[in-house]
Amino acid sequence: MGQIRARTTLMVAAGMWLGLSACELYVVDHAGQLPPQVVQSALSTEPKPEPLPGSDLVVFMDSTTAQLAGCRAISNIRFSHNGSYGDGLTLLRNAAIQINANRMVPIRLLENVENSGGPHLYQVKLMRCPEPETQGTEANG
């Protein structure tokens, strides 16, 4: 009986030791003991993104129109952005230009209305559509 009890105690002690070794400890500073430089750098805002040339030509369209127009899907992009919603759209259009997309099909666009600083969520399908042909350039034969 004593040997079973010793094994059980040893197994419980080993289980607790293994369980506690996997825990991570975090220190939260509630008393405001961090130096103000650290807090200031964490709160600093990023500069406003500059639109790339041609990014104003990247527009949204629905998936049915994209299929009928002969567009091909290039990629999906999903990200969250802290800052203004419009700055996130600029980043989205810049990403489309960088991978040669000229249309975006929205999958999910969420603007954080409670906090204008974000995070805002963006998820779109990037498409490459053929350029529309100008009418009247070819003569009927």
The Cα–Cα gap between 17 and 124 comes to 47
Sheet of 120-128, strand order: 59-60, 103-110, 120-128, 72-81
For 25, the 3-state DSSP assignment is coil
Say which residue the tokens 């996997």 belong to: 22
What is the token pair recorded at 118? 């974000």
Judge if pTM exceeds 0.95.
no
**16-68: pLDDT as tens digits:** 555 544 445 454 555 566 555 544 444 456 788 999 999 999 999 999 999 99
**Looking at residue 117, what is its pLDDT?**
84
Mean pLDDT of the chain, nearest integer: 78
Say which residue the tokens 């059980």 belong to: 8
Average pLDDT over residues 81-93: 93
Identify the DSSP state of 56: G
Query: Which domains does the chain carry?
Result: 50-128 (3.30.1660.10)
User: Of all residues in the chain, what percent carry a pLDDT higher than 90?
Assistant: 53
CA atoms within 13 A on the CB side of 28: 2
> Hey, what amino acid is at 68?
L
6 has a pLDDT exceeding 90: no
